[in-house]
Every structure is written in C-alpha cells, then in structure tokens.
A = this chain, B = another copy of it.
Amino acid sequence: MTNYLDSFFSALADPTRRAVVEDLTKGPAPVSALHARHDMALPTFLRHLKVLEDGGLVTSAKKGRVRTVRLHPDALVQGTAWIDTYRMAWEGRLDRLSRLADQLERTRT
C-alpha cells in the first residue's frame, strides 16, 4: 500500500522544495545557485534536495566540486498520474450525476 507516491507528495508539501522545482523549470543549476535564494543553512537546504531526489523529482550529478541539479524527466507527469486517475473517476461521477439530473428533469416535464 505504501509506494513512491508517499515520497513524491511529501516532497511537494514544502514551500522551499516547491520553489526549487519552480527554479529548475528554467534549467539545471548547481547547488550553490539554488541555495542562494533561500535563507537557511546549507546543510538544511541539502536535506531538502535529498528529499526531492528521493521523491524522484530531481536528479543530480557531481562534476569536480560542483553538484548540478536538474528536474527528473517526466517526474511531474508520472507524479500527477495518481491524481489524474481519481480526478477522472470523480469527474466521471459528476457527469453521471448531471445526466441523472437531466433525466429526472425530463421525467418531470
């Protein structure tokens, strides 16, 4: 019952981490550049990056002394799959409800 969705959604449940995802849509960036716009200690920030990486949202690679972080391809697509499934089920239900309402309406007139 527990799966990668736990870590995907908890990764997004924090404003700092969502801001990082937002930044990364502009392109890959080194840790230090990402850290620059957040007022917190580097080790704390690195923990956030690890959470994003564990959640499958970003990947990173180190070259020399610089670690470059980038959005994981398809991360957001795959992550929304769960929501989309139940969103469709729910919206389908709403559709059936309105068809039912239409039928009742027609029966009455």
A residues near B, CB below 8 A? Answer: 1-3, 5-10, 12-16, 18-19, 21-22, 24-27, 71, 73, 76-77, 79-80, 82-84, 86-87, 89-91, 93-94
Contacts and interface: CB of A to CB of B under 8 A. Distances in A.
A6 B10 contact: no
A80 B84 contact: yes
Contacts of A86: 21-22, 25, 76
B76 A25 contact: no
A94 B27 CA distance: 10
Number of identical protomers: 2
A1 B15 contact: yes
A12 B9 contact: yes
Contacts of A94: 73
Given A12-B9, A25-B93, A79 B83 contact: yes
A31 to B, nearest CB: 20
Given A22-B86, A27-B93, A87-B76, A9 B9 contact: yes
Contacts of A15: 1-3, 5-6
